[in-house]
Structure 1
Amino acid sequence: MNETVISTKDNKQVVYIPEKCIGCGTCVMVCPKETLVIGSVGPVARGLIDKEFLEIRPNTCITCGMCSKVCPTGALEMREDGKPVEEKTYLINAIKPTTVNDDCVHCGLCEQVCPQGCIEVDQWLSNDNAAKVDGQTTIDQECCVHCGWCESVCPVDAIEVEKPFEGTWFRDEDVCQACRTCVDVCPCNALFNPDWEAGERVDKVAQRPDACIYCGACAVSCPVQAIDVRKTAIAAEMEKKKVFEKKLLDKPSVKPTLTSKLVTDEYDCLGCGNCVIVCPVNAYANKELAAGHLNNMDEKALLEVENGAVNVVDQDVCGSCGACAMICPTNAIWLEKREVE
């Protein structure tokens, strides 16, 4: 497993484990030295850029461990003498493990819906006269994000899940461009684009409250800041949690730093304008452009076609979602890592 040592002091180390990171930015909210930088969550989750969710500002960490204490997945780990600290003052240690009891019928529903692939169900026919299935259901606690999907779908209430946070979720319908960045980023499959019937009006993006852990990754990733996620409680019985509640509760999710840049190839570009139209920042700036009126708009916020090739108007307004790279038919636009100041 890939690891990055953020800092070392005496016998203590703070270590970042990218494989466990969900890009929520909770750690950034409590860091007293602004050592941690979150950004480009969308393209990282979509596999469009070779970087991690978090960037580390060198020589700033004081090894206080605040970040590792609030991390809901254990992606930031405090170690003493090379071993993880297991105190209940750390949220990851305070959250009760997701458990399955003997009432389980090993139907496999939990395995099917788990967004992180943490559940494995083995089934076999019973070894007695009953026409039933026996089996074994195993939950990998290392990758579980405590979303509650398994508990919600279990037909016999055999699974118990404790969430890390309680909270509120709000999306501004007028600002949202339905770009699906939040849907692709959510570690819990708690967000989705509803289906609709002819003549029916539905939300652009909807939330499944029972599956949400209110981590804030969706808000961090939204290229037009249409989503507001606020933690209202640390749900687990974490020791000394009042210190962290002062920093986390009823606060907006951290505003991301732009840690990527758009790069274009004028020779491969066809000048089709698909990227210009699909760009959520462009669409938010002008609704007509989002409707496909590409040539009627003289000014674009982020991307435009100039002399038959795509041109980046203003790198600094990029929401770093990667929609342009995903739609380009010739791979003429992509994202690269941007150095953090």
Structure 2
Amino acid sequence: MQDNMRLSIFAEKKDKKLVYKPEKCIGCGTCVQACPKGNLSVGAVGAITRGLLDADFLEIKKSEECLVCGICAKVCPTGALELKQEGKSLTDMSYLFRAMKPTSVNENCVHCGLCEDICPRGCIEVTREISEDGHLKLVGKTHIDSDCCVHCGWCAAVCPVNAISVEKPFEGRWTKDENICQTCHTCVEVCPANAIFNKKAKSGERVEKISHRPDACIYCGACAVSCPVNAIDVRKTAILPDVEKKSVLEKKILEAPVPEALLRTYLETDENACLGCGNCVIVCPVNALNSHELAAGYLNDMDEKTLLEVKNGRISIVNQDCCGADGACALICPVDAIRLVKREVE
């Protein structure tokens, strides 16, 4: 993965460079929390994850103001940011992703393939064949790609012989407001660890809108960053790996709220293509938060909508600035009459 990775030079100062690797970024915004200049921005995580916007999760606002101090790179749990000097990486044990023990598999592995099946990132490859030494067993190899692993622990949890070891980046606290959540599923799709899901309800059974798997969660905060109605709160309470100068990093990110997602998109509509069906108006979580009746499908019973409205049989935008950039409207439109377009970071 490393050889084919796309790199962006975020900032340069003398012989140092801050390098961004979009393929490794999970949109958690931990780096934004830590930046001493407030010079990094994250946003449109839902739209990008859903393939509705051709952009990277992270951007730098003013390259010339960056100190190239490397604090952002040191707190990144995946190594998506890296500091280089004269082309050589400066990463050492003061960097979280470097200090974190790689997810590893030992000789007890029976190559059953359960870890490969369950990995939410597709980081594990198992090759196996039937042993030819007369024993009833599988032989082969289990390879874990450290470049894409997020240390969620799914593989270790399902391994029948306890052959896999995982060290997580953070301990934390995950909460949601059931009354605010609009079940738009943005968090479910964004979560890199498959730690958020929708329970299947039996007939007549009432279940929570979204559910959380604490044992899989890495408390990165990507779900909270992407939530269009701010229904989720994630706080890191500890850095788990033995990072050098850990206290400096902890002061930056522990108990800090996730950064506010920058509005990096605007909605564009095609009135000629619009059918006036109103599906986008109903499915919009920002609209739905304002009116539960609207979310239930009562499109024409509400006089005012927060973000999207249908007037004279055509879609119209009430207030661009309210958009949560989740892309639910674009996903449901049958004729591509509404879409998210990238706007430049100011």
TM-score range, shorter chain: over 0.9
Match of 1:285 among 286, 290, 307: 290
1:307 is displaced (CA, Å) by 1.3
2:53 aligned partner: 49
Any idea what SS the aligned residue of 1:210 has? Answer: coil
1:256 aligned partner: 261
2:27 aligned partner: 23
Any idea what SS the aligned residue of 1:231 has? Answer: strand
Higher mean displacement: 49-58 or 320-329: 49-58
1:3 aligned partner: 7
> Equivalent residues in 2 for 1:1-341 (5 A)?
1-58=5-62, 59-341=64-346
1:3 is displaced (CA, Å) by 1.2
Give me the identity figure in percent: 62
Aligned length: 341
For normalisation by structure 2, the TM-score amounts to 0.97
CA offset digits 1:211-247 (Å, max 9, x no partner): 1100000000000000000000001111101111112
Any idea what SS the aligned residue of 2:79 has? Answer: coil
1:86 is displaced (CA, Å) by 2.9
1:12 is displaced (CA, Å) by 1.4
Amino acid at match of 2:336: N
2:15 and 2:284 map into 1 onto residues whose CA distance is 48
Question: What are structure 2's unaligned runs of at least 5 residues?
Answer: none
Amino acid at match of 1:35: N
1:338 is displaced (CA, Å) by 1.2
Higher mean displacement: 13-22 or 124-133: 124-133
1:11 is displaced (CA, Å) by 2.2
Higher mean displacement: 124-133 or 188-197: 124-133
1:87 and 1:74 map into 2 onto residues whose CA distance is 12
For normalisation by structure 1, the TM-score amounts to 0.99
Amino acid at match of 1:29: Q
1:10 is displaced (CA, Å) by 2.3
The 4+ residue runs of structure 1 with deviation greater than 2 A are none
CA offset digits 1:175-209 (Å, max 9, x no partner): 00000000010011111111010111111100111
2:154 and 2:241 map into 1 onto residues whose CA distance is 18
CA offset digits 1:57-111 (Å, max 9, x no partner): 1322110111000000111111122122231000111000111001111000000
